[in-house]
Structure 1
Amino acid sequence: MADIWGRMGRTMEVSEDGRVLTKKAGGNYARHVAAQEVLSSGVHTWEVELTSGATSNNNRDVFIGVATPGCDVEKGDHHAKGKAWYLRTHDGHIYGGDLEVEDAAMKGKHFLAGDRVGVRLDCNDGSLRFYKNGEPLGEQFPAGTIPTPVVRAVELKCPGQCVTLLPEVQLV
């Protein structure tokens, strides 16, 4: 996969091979990072590993999914502005469009460092599905909810949080 994290703010650092992304500095505010490749047709699958939580408290609250091209990299919470569709690793729910879910009982218990978040985007029907360690999660964005074009995207919140884009996988 030739895809790399191509758009990021000044508090982010990307590895030489373009796959490992770390929030190096700043406060505990979400910051947007986008891949270079624009996705507008076909089916695309990828996995992101939660490599590490925050340095201070191991916080693993990260958003992973897709966003419209051109979102401000120095800001976050683009899902609340109708510009991003994410799985939130802190609670395992989807955020974006009209499908946001809150469940305080799950806060902080859903994904751990080392877990993989799989993403399956079908640009042809506008659906987005998520996986945990290769197994489908229940919530998804159904057909017709994801407008294209979009880019792969994450939002990291706390310094020390790190994710790794893994080689492309097949997710059904």
Structure 2
Amino acid sequence: MADSWDRLGKTMEVSEDGTVLTKKSGGNYSRHVAAKEVLSSGVHMWEVELASGATSNNNRDLFVGVASPGCDVEKGDHHDKGKAWYLRTHDGNIYGGDIDNDDATGKGSHFVVGDRIGLRLDCNDGSLSFYKNGQPFGQPFPAGTIALPVVRAVELKCSGQSVKLLPQAQLA
């Protein structure tokens, strides 16, 4: 995978190689970031490493998944508008389409700094599966759920949160 974070707003910064994304400023509001490559056919696998939590309190509440191309980078919660399909690291549940699992237990205990969040997008059937450190994790978006085309996407919430787009997925 030769992709990088390339659509981001004013509160975000990306490393010189385009792989490390950090929310550098702003309040505790989700902001959308997307990768350049549009995904519309085949099977795609990638990982995002949780590089750091929030500067003030180590908050690791963020969204990782896919979104429709062209989402507003200065806004978040695109899953509420039918434009994104995410795993939320805070509660380990999926959000997007008609799925919203906001009543989860165990909040804040699912992912820590250094964990890898893997994704497997099957554009042939419109499904999206998740992995934690290479092993299957949580509930997938079933076949027919993901409206194509999409781009790799994240929404960071707090200043200091950082993720790294890894070059090669190591999924079971």
TM-score of the two chains, using structure 2 as the length reference? 0.97
Q: Secondary structure at the match of 1:66?
A: strand
2:118 aligned with 1:115: no
Partners in 2 of 1:73 and 1:145 — Cα distance? Answer: 23
Letter in 2 for 1:124: N
Alignment partner of 1:13 is 2:22:
no
Residue pair 2:93, 2:138 contacting (<8 A) in 1 also:
no
Segment drifting more, 103-112 vs 49-58: 103-112
Q: Where does the alignment leave 5 or more consecutive residues of structure 2 unmatched?
A: none
- 1:60-116, Cα deviation, whole Å (9 max, x unpaired): 001000000000000000001000000000011000011211234211111101111
Residue 125 of structure 1 and its aligned partner are, at CA, apart by: 0.4
| Contact 2:134–2:170 (Cα < 8 Å) also in 1 | no
Note the alpha carbon deviations across 1:151-171, whole angstroms, 9 max, x for none: 000000000000000112253
After superposition, the CA RMSD in angstroms is 1.0
1:134, CA displacement in angstroms? 0.6
One-letter amino acid of the counterpart of residue 32, structure 1: H
How far, CA to CA, are the matches of 1:171 and 1:147 in structure 2?
Answer: 23
SS at match of 1:33: strand
Taking a change above 3 Å as real, the CA distance of residues 43 and 170 of structure 1, as seen in their structure-2 partners, is: farther
Counterpart residue number, 2:129? 129
Question: Any unmatched runs of 5+ in structure 1?
Answer: none
Equivalent residue pairs, number: 172
> Which segments of structure 1 move beyond 4 Å, counting only runs of 4 or more?
none
The secondary structure found in structure 2 opposite 1:80 is helix
User: For the Cα contact (< 8 Å) 2:34–2:153, is it kept in 1?
Assistant: yes
Cα deviation, residue 118, structure 1: 0.2
With normalisation by structure 1, the TM-score equals 0.97
1:63 corresponds to 2:56: no
Letter in 2 for 1:62: L
Instruction: Report sequence identity in percent.
Output: 77
Separation (CA, whole Å) in 2 of partners of 1:69 and 1:171? 25
